[in-house]
A and B are shown apart, each in its own frame.
Chain A
C-alpha cells in the first residue's frame, strides 16, 4: 500500500512537473515541446486522479493547440487591448489566481510577442497537436474537473471564457452559448462590486462575439444595474448610463424618433419601455435634466400606444416636473462620447390628422385681372388634350393650391387634431412653420378635452413678404417641451397641398350702408359669397337712396373701384333700372388713403308689374267696352266725357286684394371690385359683394285698362282702373290730371287723355342686338320700347301722405297689343277740312246756311308703301242725343257735285287731297260720317288705318 502510495505520489509529482515544464516551454515559444510535455502530464495525472492539475494540463494542451491552429489569436483586438493593461500574462494570471500555480498564457500574447506565426513548417512536427474539435472536448473535460473544486471557480470561468473565444473563431455559436450558460452559473464567492461589473461586462462582450446581441444587451444591462446597486456607496450613474446606452442596439431601439415614423411600433415594447425608464432615471441621477427630458419625451412619443392610462399620467407628470427646471428643446443633444440624441417632436400630442390651407374669405380673396393675352395659353401645348399635360397638372395640383394669400393679411391653416391622452391636453404656442416667405406666425393656445374626437384648430399668421410659401409643419409646446413637427414626418396625415403663392399687399375695403343689415341670406344659387346683406322694404314704384360708405381699413391706398350689379334671377318682371348710381363723384376722392372714407349713393327703384294677373282681355270684354274692331264705333261714344267713375270695391275684388298684397322679393348683388398698392401693379384686385334684399309691397294696381277714342283722331283716352292695395290713403296723379284720392282697398277708374303715339319714330333696337334675337324676342322688345314711351308720357305718380312716401306707377306691363294698336297713330293721316278749317276737335265747325261749304279730305301717307286709290262717301246725319240718328237728310243737306270723292293712289310720304262741297239748307247740328266705299279699300290694310275724324258742323243762319 505504501509502495502504491509512493508510486502514486511519484506519478503525481512527475505529472505536475511535466505540466510545469510544458508551461515554461510554451512561455519560451517552444510550441512543439510544450505539446509533448502536456500530453505526458495529462497521461500521468489521469492515472492518479489529480483532477485540478489534470484540468490545468488539459487547458495547457488546449492553449498550445489553439496557438498552433489560430496563430492570429482568438481575442482579436479586445485581447490585445487587455494585454496592454497587464504587461506580463504570467503576472496577470498570478494576481488573479493566487491559489493556483497554473500559468495562464493568453494565446494572443504569444504572437504579439514575436513568435513566428508561419506554422506551415511546423505542421509536420505537430503530431501531438489537438484537432479543433478535440480542443473543445478537452476544454469541456478541463472545466468539468475544475468544477469539482469550489475554490477553482475563477479558473473555471477563465477556461470557459477561453473556450468561448475558440468557439467564436470556429463559428460554433450554439456550443459557445452552452459554455457561457455554464459560466453564468459558476459560483464565485466574495467578488467585489467592481469584479461583478467586470464579469457581466465580459459576459456581454462574449455574447456579442458569438452574435447573441440580445443576450449581450441583457448582461450589459445587468452590469449597468450592478453599477448602481444599492450596496455600492457611490453609485456610478455615469457608467450605468453609458452601459445602458450600449444596450440600445440589442433591444433594437434607436433614439431617433424618425425611425418610429415608418409604421406601427414593432418591438419589445415592455422591455424597451423599461430601458427608457432606466435611461431617464440614470440621466436624472447623473444631473443632466436635459437628457432625462429628452429620454422621457422620447418614451412618451414612441411608446404612447403601449402606456396604460395611469402610466400616461405618471409619465406626463414627471415630464412636467423635469421641464419646469429645464424645458425641452428642439436642439440636438450631444453626449460626451459623441453620441447625439436627435430632438423628439411630439407629433402624437396632439395627433394631427388633416392639414388644410384655407383661402382668404371671399371678400378678401385676390383675383387676377384677365389680361387680353393670357400668358398661360402660350405655355400650353397646341393640343386640346394631351395625357402628358394632364399628368403634369395632376402633379402640380398635389403641391400647389389654386388660391393666393396676400401679403400683410391674416392667413389661416386648419388642422384637425386629436388628443389621445386620457386627460385634458394643453397645447401652448401652437404656430405654423413655413418656408419661402417671411411669415409672422401668430401662436395659439388650445386645450383639448380628454380622448377628444377630431377637433378643428385654426392656426394663423401673416406673410410679410411675397413669393411662394410652403407650410412645412407646426410648432407646439406640450408639457413644457417645444416641438417642431414637420408634416413630411407625420404618419397618415392628409393634406391638400401645402404650397401657396403670396401676392403683394392689397387694400381692404369695408362697406357700411345706410340700410339695416338683414339676416336674410340670398338664394344659395347665387354663387358668390356675400359678405354683407342689407334689406329694405319698398312700395312698388318707389325709389330709395342707398348710401354706401366705403372705408379703406387696409394698409395700402385704394386706387381703383368698379361697381357692378347683378340681379338674381327673379320671376318678377322688372321695369326700369333697378339699381343706378353715379361713380364719378366717388372716384373723385380716390386714391383713398388707409383709414379714409368715401361714399357712394345708389338709388334703388323697385318697379314691378302693376297689373293684376287676371286675363285682361276677358275682363275688358265683360265690361262691354269694346276695344276691338273699328274704333269709330259710334258717335255716341264720343260723347262720353273722360270722367272719374267711382266704383266701390266689390267683394270679389276685396278677396283679390288679399292675394295681391303679398310681398314680392327682389334680390341683387352689388360687386365692388377694388385694387391698389403693390397688388394692383401685379394685376390683382379684390371683390366685395353686398347683398341687397328688397321686399316690394304692392302700392297700386291697374286692374283694368282700356281705351276710348277721343274726339280727335290724334288723341285717345286711356282708362285705368286703379286699385289701392295698401292700408293707407293714397293719391294718384297723372300728367295734366288732378290728384285722385284712393282709400285703402279702393278701386277707381281714372281716365287720361293722351296723344296718340307714332311708334314708327321710336328708334329700333340696335342692329347688332337684333341680329341674334328671334323674331319673337324682337317683337317683345318693340312692345317694351313702346310701353316705355307711353309710360313716360303718362307719368303716373302715387303718394302716400301718411307715410310721406311716393313713387311711380307704370302701365308698361299691362298694355297689350290691342290697346297699343289703339294708342297708335295710324300711318295714314286723314285730315278733314270744312271751309278751310281743320276739323278735328270737339268744336263744331260753323258755317252759314245756304252757302256751299267746301269740304276737303287730305291724306298723308306715312306708311312705307303706296296706298289707294280710295273712294270715300260722305254721309251726313243728325244725332238726337237719345240714341236715335237721323240719316234721312236729303231735304236739309245737299251736295254740290258728288257725295263720293276719289283719292288717287298715294306714294309713301306723299300727300293727296280731294275736294267737294256741301250746302246746308237749314240750321242745325250736323255730323258728317265719311265712309269708304264698299270694296274699294285695300283688304290688306288694317282697319285702324282708316280712322277718319268725324266732322261736326253747325249750320247757322247767315244773318244771325
Chain B
C-alpha cells in the first residue's frame, strides 16, 4: 500500500529510503525531501507540548494529486515518512498509525544491533523485509 518509505535521521539526511516503482525513484526522493519542511514545522509547533504527551504520529503532511505523505517522528527526532497512493481510499488513519508503529519497532530492533553505528545508512535485512511487506500488502 505504501509506495515509498523513508527513515530520516535527526539531522535530516536519509538513513533509509525505498520506493516501489524503481524507475521513478528520484520523484519520491524529492517528495520525501520537501515533506521534511512540513515535518520540521510540525515538530517545532509541538515542541511546546510536554514530551511524554507528545503524539509521535504527525498525520498527513501534505497531499499531492496522486499521493499522500504521512509523517511520524520518534522522541529522538528520527522521522519516518510514508508515501501512499491517494487512490487507495480504503486506507484509514488508524492503519497508517499501526504501520508507523511497526516501522518504529523494527527501527528499534535495528538500533539494538551492537554492530550498527547510529547515523549510518540502515542496511539491516530484517528491516528491509519488513518494509517490503508493508509496501506489498495491498498493492
Contacts and interface: CB of A to CB of B under 8 A. Distances in A.
A511 B93 CA distance: 90
Contacts of A270: 17, 25-26, 29
B17 to A, nearest CB: 8
A181 B30 contact: no
Interface stretch (B36-44, B72-80, B94-102): B36-44
A839 B130 CA distance: 124
Interface residues on B, range: 20 to 34
A212 B120 contact: no
Tell me whether chain A's interface is mostly helix, strand or loop, or mixed: helix
B33 A214 contact: yes
A149 interface: no
A177 B62 contact: yes
B78 to A, nearest CB: 14
A911 B30 CA distance: 125
Nearest to A177: B38
B26 A266 contact: no
A363 to B, nearest CB: 49
B45 interface: yes
B60 to A, nearest CB: 11
Contacts of B41: 173-174, 177, 211-212
B29 A268 contact: yes
Contact of B13 (A211, A212, A266): A266
A924 B9 CA distance: 131
A207 interface: yes
A266 B12 CA distance: 9
B33 A268 contact: yes
A271 interface: yes
A165 interface: no
A267 B38 contact: no
Interface string B14-47: 1001000000011001100110111011100100
Nearest to A251: B33
Contact of B34 (A185, A218, A252): A218
Given A212-B38, A214-B33, A268 B14 contact: yes
A266 B25 contact: no
Interface string B52-75: 000000000011010000000000
A251 B26 CA distance: 14
B38 A266 contact: no
Contacts of A211: 37, 40-41
A145 to B, nearest CB: 22
Nearest to A207: B37
A264 B37 contact: no
Interface residues on A, range: 20 to 34
A678 to B, nearest CB: 55
A177 B38 CA distance: 8
A138 interface: no
Contacts of A266: 9, 11, 13, 119
Given A177-B62, A264-B120, A270-B26, A214 B37 contact: yes
B38 to A, nearest CB: 6
A215 B25 CA distance: 18
Contacts of A251: 33
Contact of A218 (B11, B12, B30): B30
B124 to A, nearest CB: 18
Contacts of B45: 174
A476 B63 CA distance: 50
B38 A174 contact: yes
Nearest to B31: A218
Contacts of B38: 174, 177, 212
Interface string A256-282: 000000001011101100100000000
A267 B11 CA distance: 9
A213 interface: yes
A141 to B, nearest CB: 21
Nearest to A270: B29
Contacts of A213: 37
A181 B26 contact: no
Contacts of A207: 37
A254 to B, nearest CB: 14
Contacts of A185: 65
A252 B13 CA distance: 10
B11 A214 contact: no
B12 to A, nearest CB: 8
Contacts of B36: 214
Interface in A203-219: 207, 211-215, 218
Contacts of B14: 268
B116 to A, nearest CB: 14
A266 B30 CA distance: 16
A542 B17 CA distance: 85
B9 A271 contact: no
Interface string A183-218: 001000000000000000000000100011111001
A268 to B, nearest CB: 5
A215 B40 CA distance: 12
A268 B6 CA distance: 12
Which of A213, A266, A274 has most B Cβ within 10 Å? A266
A549 B8 CA distance: 75
A325 to B, nearest CB: 30
Contacts of B12: 252
A252 B40 CA distance: 15
A212 B40 CA distance: 9
B33 A271 contact: yes
Interface of A: 173-174, 177, 181, 185, 207, 211-215, 218, 251-252, 264, 266-268, 270-271, 274
Given A211-B41, A264-B120, 19 more contacts: A174-B38, A174-B42, A177-B37, A177-B62, A211-B40, A212-B34, A212-B37, A213-B37, A215-B34, A215-B37, A218-B33, A251-B33, A252-B12, A252-B13, A268-B29, A270-B25, A271-B26, A271-B29, A274-B26
8 contacts: A174-B41, A177-B38, A212-B41, A213-B37, A215-B34, A218-B30, A266-B11, A268-B33
5 residue pairs, one from A and one from B, having the closest CB atoms = A212-B37, A266-B13, A270-B29, A214-B34, A214-B37
Interface of B: 9, 11-14, 17, 25-26, 29-30, 33-34, 36-38, 40-42, 45, 62-63, 65, 119-120
